Homo-oligomer: A and B are copies of this chain.
Amino acid sequence: MPKPGPLSLNAATVRERWGLPGCIEGCARHGIPGISPWRDMLHDMGVARAARRIRDAGLAVTGLCRGGMFPAADAAGRRAAVEDNRRAVAEAHELGAACLVMVCGGLPPGSKDLPGARGMVRDGLHALMDEARAAGVTLALEPLHPMTCADRSVLSTLAQALDLCAELGEGAGVAVDVYHVWWDPDLERQMLRARGRIAAFHVCDWLVPTTDLVFDRGMMGDGVIDIPRIRAMAEAAGYGGFVECELLSRRWWKEDPDTVLRVVKERHATAC
Binding site for B on A (CB under 8 A): 107, 111-114, 118, 145-147, 149-151, 154, 156-157, 159-160, 182-186, 206, 208-211, 213, 223-226
Contact = CB atoms under 8 A, between A and B. Distances in A.
Contact of A208 (B151, B156, B210): B151
A147 B184 contact: no
27 contacts: A112-B225, A113-B226, A114-B182, A114-B183, A118-B185, A145-B147, A146-B147, A146-B183, A146-B184, A147-B147, A149-B182, A150-B206, A150-B210, A150-B224, A151-B208, A151-B209, A156-B183, A156-B184, A156-B185, A157-B184, A157-B185, A157-B186, A159-B185, A159-B186, A160-B185, A209-B213, A213-B213
Q: Give 10 closest A-B pairs by Cβ, nearest first.
A: A149-B183, A146-B183, A147-B147, A112-B226, A160-B185, A150-B208, A150-B224, A146-B146, A112-B224, A156-B183
Contacts of A146: 145-147, 183-184
The A interface is mostly helix, strand or loop, or mixed, namely loop
A213 B210 CA distance: 8
A156 B182 CA distance: 11
Contacts of A211: 213
Nearest to A213: B210
A186 B186 CA distance: 12
Nearest to A107: B224
A213 B147 contact: yes
Residue of A157, A185, A211 with highest tally of chain B CB at under 10 A: A185
Contacts of A107: 224
Given A156-B185, A183-B156, A185-B159, A114 B226 contact: yes
A146 B111 CA distance: 23
A204 to B, nearest CB: 14
Contacts of A183: 114, 146, 149, 154, 156
Contacts of A154: 183
Contacts of A186: 157, 159
A122 to B, nearest CB: 12
Given A147-B210, A150-B210, 10 more contacts: A114-B182, A114-B183, A114-B226, A147-B213, A149-B182, A149-B183, A151-B208, A156-B184, A211-B213, A213-B213
Among the interface residues A150, A160, A210, which one has the most CB atoms of the partner chain B within 10 A?
A150
A224 B145 contact: no
A106 to B, nearest CB: 8
A113 to B, nearest CB: 7
Nearest to A221: B112
Nearest to A149: B183
